Amino acid sequence: MKRLIQAKTVVVKVGSSTITNADGEIDTRYLLDLARQLSEVRQSGRNVVLVTSGAVRAGVTALRTHGINAPAHLSVPEKQAAAAVGQGLLMHAYSRAFARRDQQVAQILLTREVLDGRRNFLNTRNTIRALFEMGIVPIVNENDTVAVDEIKFGDNDTLASMVAIVVDADLMILLSVVDGLYLGEISQGKALERVDRITREIEAAVRKDLSAGGTGGMYTKIQAARQAIGAGIPMVLAHGRATDVVLRIMRGEPMGTYFASTMERNKQTRLTSRKKWIAFGRRPRGEVVVNEGAMRSIVENGKSLLAVGIVGVSGAFDVGDMVSLREERVGEFARGLVNYRSQDINKVMGLRSNQIEKALGFRDFDEVVHRNNLVRTRGLDLVESAGDACGG
């Protein structure tokens, strides 16, 4: 496949079940093989980032080996302690594996909070790009030792898609213990070769697995795929233990399930770095509910959001904060940076722009969310808004 062959920057994510053996120990033979493949990719002139899980599992195994009690169900502090032990072991194992290929690696630990602000988002990008220039392979993991629910990515599939967005990757590869996406029992079917759109059928299938007591692993992979392909980055989900899986994917061979990006599908240009950050990098601080007319103006014509189209506000937020734009029937259809505080929007919703000053005593902007600070998220297609401002 031409798009895979032409990829210049690739993010590869590997899960803890893939890099550890049945006893929970780091599988050094697997790491050696993975390091060989990624080193070959790097030496071919491409940039590669490895996103890895496994710190907690490696830490728990090490603790038990040394006679330190580690219960089957760990509390949050116990998981963080295990991660503190395991992260060093994991990075040491990777360093040794890549050293066999004379390939230097670097460790980057992230939390969700780090990428929430535009400055930190760009700083992270600049650091990784500097490592690329030095010929170094960055190895990224979530900083489980300090992360709590409020600042966690939640899973490393989501972390991988965020890293792919940060580095403006051309391809994301998720290496798993399954050889692709199945809509039914693995034993009764065949993995899908290509997904052009994450349909309701796919959503229902992965939610069924989750509600039936499954690990939720496929659910997080679908959410990661939604984020990556929405940002214009195609994704491949493949079995991490398949022979030369990364190299074969990079050669364009059909491996696992290929998720086509929305830009690929709709022949649209990719989102700018700033629009990607608006759509994915920053978490919404609240919600602005609009009427159908305002939603259609934004979704169909790329217009700005004016106060006249607003019917409700939820949450407390300030000027410049990220908000989710919602319509009662459709749900979220866009995200953007607001020009007014939540309490001020409550006072002006439903009013025309020339009435804002009378209601507030000032009018800094005509638009509540300008089109330049807005990204549509209706359906699965994230495209840049364009056009003149108008009220819905």
Kind and range of the H or E element at 308?
none
Q: What is residue 151's predicted lDDT score, i.e. its pLDDT? A: 41
Task: Express each pLDDT in 79-137 by its tens digit.
Answer: 888 899 999 999 999 999 999 999 999 999 998 888 888 888 899 999 999 999 999 99
pLDDT value for 161: 94
pLDDT digits (tens, 9 = 90+) for 196-254: 888 878 877 777 655 444 445 788 899 899 889 988 899 999 999 999 999 999 999 99
Q: For the CA atoms of 258, 28, 57, 248, what is the dihedral angle to 10 degrees?
A: 0
Mind spelling out the 3-state secondary structure of 270-297? CCCHHHHHHHHHCCCCEEEEECHHHHHH
For the cut 70, the answer to whether the pLDDT of residue 195 exceeds it is yes
Res 376: pLDDT: 84
Closest by Cα among 122, 368, 383, 107 to 271: 383
> Which structure tokens are listed for 34?
């993975």
Domains of the chain: 2-266 (3.40.1160.10), 284-376 (2.30.130.10)
Sheet strands (E) in the chain: 9-14, 47-52, 105-110, 137-142, 171-176, 194-195, 235-239, 257-259, 286-290, 305-306, 310-314, 322-327, 331-337, 367-369, 374-376
Q: Using CA atoms, how far apart are residues 58 and 62, in angstroms rounded to an integer?
A: 6
Among 66-75, 141-150, 359-368, 376-385, the minimum mean pLDDT is found in 376-385
What pLDDT is stored for residue 49 in this prediction?
99
- Predicted confidence at residue 383, as pLDDT, reads 34
* pLDDT of amino acid 208: 61
**Taking a C-beta distance cutoff of 8 angstroms, is the pair 89, 59 a contact?**
yes
The residue type at 134: M
Residue holding tokens 């009220």? 391
Q: What are the b/e assignments for 215-235, b being 16+ CB within 10 Å?
A: eebbbbbbbbbbbbbbbbbbb
Chain CA centroid to CA 226, Å: 8
Residue 152: is its pLDDT beyond 70?
no
- Asked whether the predicted pLDDT for residue 64 surpasses 90, the reply is no
Banded model confidence at residue 386, pLDDT cuts 50, 70, 90? very low
Express as a percent the part of the chain with pLDDT over 90.
58
The string of pLDDT tens digits covering residues 154-163 is 678 999 999 9
Please state, as a whole number, how many other Cβ atoms lie within 10 Å of the Cβ of residue 273: 16
State whether residue 379 is helix, strand or coil: coil
End-to-end CA distance of the chain: 43
What angle do the packed helices 76-99 and 28-43 form, to 10 degrees?
Answer: 60
Label the pairing between strands 257-259 and 235-239: antiparallel
Look at 43-57, 113-127, 255-269 and tell me which has the smallest mean pLDDT: 255-269
Q: Given the structure tokens 């939720």, which residue do they identify?
A: 216
Mean pLDDT of the chain: 87
pLDDT for residue 190: 81
What backbone phi and psi angles, to 5 degrees, belong to 67? 75, 15
